[in-house]
Amino acid sequence: MLPLARRLEALLFISPRPIATDRLAQACACPEDEAAAALDELRAEFVAGSHGIELREVAGGFTFAVADDCAEDVRRLTGAERPDELTPALLETLAVVAYLEPVTRAEIAEVRGVSSEWALGALEERGLVEQQGRADTPGAPILYGTGERFLKLFGLASREQLPPLEEFSLSAGEVDEIRSRLHANAERRGQ
């Protein structure tokens, strides 16, 4: 193992939160590309299945995580609990926030067609959504967005890793089907 990789391993071991490559390079007083190369080496060393821990890139940096097949033992030792399940309403509200952030409560309600006050409160309580200031519009409503906990729980290095929203669009066939159903309804109303 290169000496730099060992030094990075020490930094990652002691840090309680993910650290970005530039901060690791700064701490080791080395160029960022050298730190990135050493991180690749560390990643190969801690590849899934070889150790009880893995090196993962999550929430804007690198951090160690317990290997998935060792997690239950750790839970028994530490008493750590799994996060509470998310209901479909919570996941839907979270998706709106994640794709449209920063977003107001009224904008979320407009997309979902129902008031999302309770869902937003529940997501805030779980640390998945946080307040990010106020909008520069009449009334200055609160803006909501996602934070580090969201990225960690969904295993994302950054929000850019979210698939483009267009990927979730209905297919042309599905749109046509809805359109014809709506037209049939409209005709019935028109008669």
Partner 1 sequence: MRADAGAVAAPPVAVAAEGSLRSRARQAPSSFDLDLDVFDGPFDLLVTLILRDEIDIWEVRVSRIIAEYVLKLADSGEFDLDATSQFVVLVAALLEMKSRLLLEEDVDEDLEDLDPDEAALQLLERLVRYSQFRNAAGAFRVRWDEHAARLYRNAAVPPELLRRRAPDGALAAACLADALTPLLREPPVPDTSHLADLAVSLVKELRRLRLILDDTGEFTFAAVAPPDRLERAVTFFALLELHSSGEARLRQTRHFGDIVVSRIAVPLPVAG
Q: Which residues bind partner 1 (CB under 8 A)?
A: 12-13, 15-18, 53, 56, 58, 63-66, 68, 71, 74-75, 80, 82-83, 86, 88, 91-92, 94-96, 98-99, 104-106, 109-115, 134, 138-142, 152-156, 163, 165-166, 168-170, 174-175, 178-179, 182-183, 185-187, 189-190
**Closest by Cα among 9, 16, 18, 12 to 157:** 18
Minimal distance, residue 86 CB to partner 1, in Å: 6
DSSP letters along 111-126, please? Answer: HHSS--HHHHHHHHHT
Q: H or E stretch including 142?
A: strand 142-146
Nearest approach in angstroms of CB 181 to partner 1 is 9
Residue pair 44/1 in contact (Cβ under 8 Å)? The answer is: no
**CA dihedral in degrees (98, 124, 74, 3; nearest 10)?**
50
The minimum distance between CB 168 and partner 1, in angstroms, equals: 4
**Residue 23 to residue 118: CA distance in whole angstroms:** 38
For residue 39, the minimal CB distance to partner 1 (Å) is: 15
Q: Which residues contact 108 (CB under 8 A, 6 or more apart)?
A: 93, 96, 97, 100, 116, 120, 144
Residue closer to partner 1 (CB basis): 16 or 29: 16
In the bound complex, what is the minimum distance in angstroms from residue 66's beta carbon to partner 1?
4
CB of 36 to partner 1, least distance (A): 20
Closest CB to partner 1 among residues 5, 128: 128
| Closer Cβ to partner 1, 158 or 169, answer by number | 169
182 vs 191: CA distance, rounded Å: 14
Nearer residue to partner 1 within complex by CB, 23 or 154: 154
Complex with partner 1: residue 15 or 132, whichever CB lies closer: 15
Q: Quick check: 122 and 100 in contact, CB under 8 A?
A: no
Output 38 or 151, the one with its CB closest to partner 1: 151
